[in-house]
Homo-oligomer: A and B are copies of this chain.
């Protein structure tokens, strides 16, 4: 890591900041997070320096230390910042009055959109779970992984109750949907020499999202043949 973790060394005042200052702080933090997100989107790892974040945001690199305390703090804040839409969508979908099929369709589209916009998401999540103290790692895992699996569990229950889905394992569904979404962005460079970088435009994301839904939807349908019975 280019920046040493120094959580707790932040000199940020805890209270009593006047409102206008708080507003400026939020603008500054957002600019630093956007700059970090841009840098990570261009790379296939999590290597960057405070100086790069400063240069990209047009601000002093020292503000990273001031606002986030350490690189670890910056990355933890980035995970929360980048996944707000995704987490909100999952929470919203779970409670919505809508067929399980439509929920699955919207969720698959959401996964492809999320990973296309934030290609570093899974990498960041994985790093934070490995690099955080046990209790914090557990909290991150519960929040970002446990919640998705719980959503799948309820979605499958609903689909089964509606007579549309088979009862499949939510962990299996997690690996197929999230694994595919992550691979789509994390390993894209592997395919560029073959497909051409122009092959990965927004049309690809849309058509791939549609196909992923089609395949998974057909695969989980209640009447789906298993083990290749069609060839028997």
Contacts and interface: CB of A to CB of B under 8 A. Distances in A.
Interface stretch (A66-74, A77-85, A182-190): A182-190
Interface in A178-232: 178-184, 186-187, 189-191, 193-195, 199, 207-208, 210-221, 224-228, 230-231
Contact of A218 (B175, B180, B199, B225): B225
Contact of A227 (B184, B210, B226, B228): B210
A137 interface: yes
A169 interface: yes
A176 B178 CA distance: 10
A168 B211 contact: yes
A126 B130 CA distance: 21
Nearest to A193: B141
Contacts of A191: 141, 145, 149, 171, 174
A193 B217 CA distance: 28
B219 A169 contact: no
Contacts of A142: 193-194
Interface in A101-136: 101-102, 104-105, 122, 125-126, 129-130
A190 B101 contact: no
Contacts of A171: 191, 195, 199
A175 B214 CA distance: 14
Given A178-B183, A193-B142, A226 B214 contact: yes
A169 B101 contact: no
A146 interface: yes
